Amino acid sequence: MRARNYFVGAAFALLAGGMAHSALAQDIKIGEINSYSLLPSFTEPYRKGWQLAVEEINAAGGINGKKLVVISKDDGGKPADAQTAANELVSSEGVAMLTGTFLSNIGLAVSDFANQKKVFFLAAEPLTDAVTWSKGNKYTFRLRPSNYMQAAMLVEAAAKLPAKRWATIAPNYEYGQSAVGVFKKLMSEKRPDIQWVDEQWPPQGKIDAGPVVQAVAAANPEAILNVTFGPDLVKLVREGNTRGLFKGREVVSFLTGEPEYLDPLKDETPEGWIVTGYPWYSIKTPEHDAFLKAYQAKYNDYPRLGSIVGYQTIKAAAAIIAKAGSTDTDKMIAAAEGLSMPSPFGEITFRKIDHQSTLGAYLGKTAQKDGKGVMVDSAYKKGSDYLPSDAEVEKLRPRD
């Protein structure tokens, strides 16, 4: 028995060495949950981002003089485990607020937990519109531009294309379904003349790309909307390139310009796709320069979009607590509503009406440069320009 304890203990010392946290009573603790083991390609840069933020905040004297400590938990991609982690952070660690999450269903699960337990929750990444609208609640705020916002940005560019026959390819789950749904709706409003000629719904992570590409090609669309990402995107692009699917067709694609998804494509990056993303190499603003320099100095690596999300999440959390002057949940909510703050992408505001931040995204076209995928002709799209009117939002969101 003792031997096994020793073994397990040694394993932990080895594995969890970097995670040791020694929080003092007067520190401000923030609980952070993400799918570290399931989605390392996003969450590793994300973790680096928030660690940089913590370092900067504490170097600048902490929050109102108190040291900031972030306690981070893995949810393994399971909503139930995320709730266990949330519970531990709140009940056992006594954190002031919860932050993080990537997957939409986990975001919603933690949001529901926050609502039930009356805990402040700042959702970092989950894109589903439900987080701030249909299932929005008093305690939940979100940083990233939602599905709706990204779709609206893409539609703005897509509507200008001459293409009339459109096909869609999206992973078969809520994210894919709602991305396609919003895109179609907004697109059809602007361009009543277009036709939707085919839709493909490969299972997330299990695309059988050859038949899907063939099926789309058979419908002979003039333009394609893609919502797949990660390994599915790689397979789709490879099959599509080889089979000539993208030749002479416009492609509009969610998230593909994010380094997490664009970089693996290397010399197979398709040219001229209209995408949302993060062209860190071509953003020339003082805010971003400062972030980029600090990040590269600390990690000797370039940032991914996850880095921005992680960094800004903790920065926002700190700003909220600083403004509230306390870790009382109601005071933090009051402080967060309407809070404006700087970010590497420029100033952002947490809207009072639906708790959505106005963080935007970059819209541009894909291209190849030295055998690598890049975004060109990119421009920042402010989140505030791509949200529906307040009257509409009020209809979408249940009253607190």
Partner 1 sequence: MAFYVVQFLTGLASAASLFLVASGLSIIFGVTRIVNFAHGAFYMIGAYIAFTLTERFSGAFGFWGGVVMAAIAVALIGVIVEMVLLRRIYHAPELFQLLGTFGLTLMVEDLVVLIWGPDDLVGRRAPGFKGAVDFFGQNIPSYDLFLIVLGPVVLGILWLLFQRTRWGVLVRAATQDRDMVAALGVNQKWLFTSVFAVGVFLAALGGALQIPRDAVHHAMDLRIIVEVFVVVVIGGLGSIVGAFVAAVLVSELNAFGILIFPKISIILVFLVMAVVLIVRPWGLFGKPEAAARKTPGLTVNPWRPLTSNERLAALAALVVAAMLPLFAGNYALTVGSEIAIFVIFAVSLHFLMSVGGLASFGHAAYFGLGAYGVAFLAKMAGLPMIVCLLLGPLLGCMGAAVFGFFAVQLSGVYFAMLTLAFAQIVWSIAFQWVSVTGGDNGILGIWPEKWAASPSHFYWLALGVAALVTIALRVAVFSPFGYALRATRDSALRSEAVGINAKRIQWTAFVIAGTTAGIGGALFAYLKGSVFPDNLGISLSVDALVMVLLGGVETVSGGVIGAIVYKALNIWLVSQTDLSKLVLGGFIVLIVVVLPKGIVGMLEMLAQRRRKASPPGSSLLAKPIESAE
- Restricting to residues 237-276, name those near partner 1 by CB under 8 A: 238-239, 242-244, 260, 263-266, 268
Residue 338 touches partner 1, criterion: CB under 8 A = no
Residue type, 375: M
**Stretch touching partner 1 by CB under 8 A, among 32-40, 334-342, 362-370, 381-389:** 32-40
The stretch near partner 1 (CB under 8 A) out of 23-31, 185-193, 195-203, 374-382 is 195-203
Task: Compare residues 180 and 363 and give the one whose CB is closer to partner 1.
Answer: 180
**Binding segment for partner 1 among 196-204, 309-317, 321-329, 364-372 (CB under 8 A)?**
196-204
139 vs 345, which CB is nearer to partner 1? 139
Q: What part of residues 94-123 is at the interface with partner 1 (CB under 8 A)?
A: 104-105, 108-109, 112-113, 115-116
Binding to partner 1 by residue 6, rule CB under 8 A? Answer: no
Q: Report d(CA 265, CA 235) in Å as an integer.
A: 10
Is 230 one of the binding residues for partner 1 (CB under 8 A)? yes
Q: How far is the CB of 306 from partner 1 (least distance, A)?
A: 10
CB of 287 to partner 1, least distance (A): 27
Choices 15-23, 52-60, 313-321, 352-360; region in contact with partner 1 by CB under 8 A: 15-23
**Least Cβ distance, residue 182 to partner 1 (angstroms):** 15
Residues 96/28, Cβ–Cβ less than 8 Å? yes
Q: Is 302 in the site for partner 1 (CB under 8 A)?
A: no
The 3-class secondary structure across the chain, one letter per residue, is: CHHHHHHHHHHHHHHCHHHCCCCCCCCEEEEEEECCCCCHHHHHHHHHHHHHHHHHHHHCCCECCECEEEEEEECCCCHHHHHHHHHHHHHHCCCCEEEECCCHHHHHHHHHHHHHHCCEEEECCCCCHHHCCCCCCCCEEECCCCHHHHHHHHHHHHCCCCCCEEEEECCCCHHHHHHHHHHHHHHHHHCCCCEEEEEECCCCCCCCHHHHHHHHHHCCCCEEEECCCCHHHHHHHHHHHHHCCCCCCEEEEEEEECHHHHHHHHHHCCCCCEEEECCHHHCCCHHHHHHHHHHHHHHCCCCCHHHHHHHHHHHHHHHHHHHHCCCCHHHHHHHHCCCEECCCCCCEEECCCCCEECCCEEEEEEEEECCEEEEEEEEEECHHHHCCCHHHHHHHCCCC
Question: Closer to partner 1 at the Cβ: 109 or 322?
Answer: 109
**Binding to partner 1, residues 152-191 (CB under 8 A):** 172-174, 177
Q: How many residues bind partner 1 (CB under 8 A)?
A: 76
Query: Closest CB to partner 1 among 15 and 297?
Result: 15
Residues between 50 and 79 with contacts to partner 1, criterion CB under 8 A:
73-76, 78-79
> Given candidates 58, 84, 349, 384, which one binds partner 1 under the rule CB under 8 A?
84
Min separation Cβ 165 and partner 1, Å: 17
Q: How many CB atoms lie within 10 A of CB 116?
A: 11
Does 127 sit near partner 1 (CB under 8 A)?
Answer: no
Q: Binders of partner 1 among 367-396, rule CB under 8 A?
A: none
Based on CB atoms, which residue is closest to partner 1, 173 or 380? 173
Stretch of residues binding partner 1 (CB under 8 A), selected from 52-60, 228-236, 250-258, 276-284: 228-236
Provide the Cα torsion 121, 123, 127, 129; round to 10°. 20
Taking CB under 8 A as the criterion, the residue among 212, 274, 320, 321 binding partner 1 is 212
From 180, 182, 234, 387, residue interacting with partner 1 (rule: CB under 8 A): 234
β-bridge pairing 361-369 and 274-277: antiparallel
Q: Is 12 in the site for partner 1 (CB under 8 A)?
A: yes
Sorted by sequence, the CB contacts under 8 Å of residue 178 that are 6+ apart come out as 128, 129, 147
CB of 169 closer than 8 Å to CB of 160:
no
Binder among 51, 99, 101, 128 for partner 1 (CB under 8 A):
128
Hey, which residues between 138 and 157 contact partner 1 (CB under 8 A)?
none
Which of 6, 21, 37, 394 forms a contact with partner 1 (CB under 8 A)?
A: 37
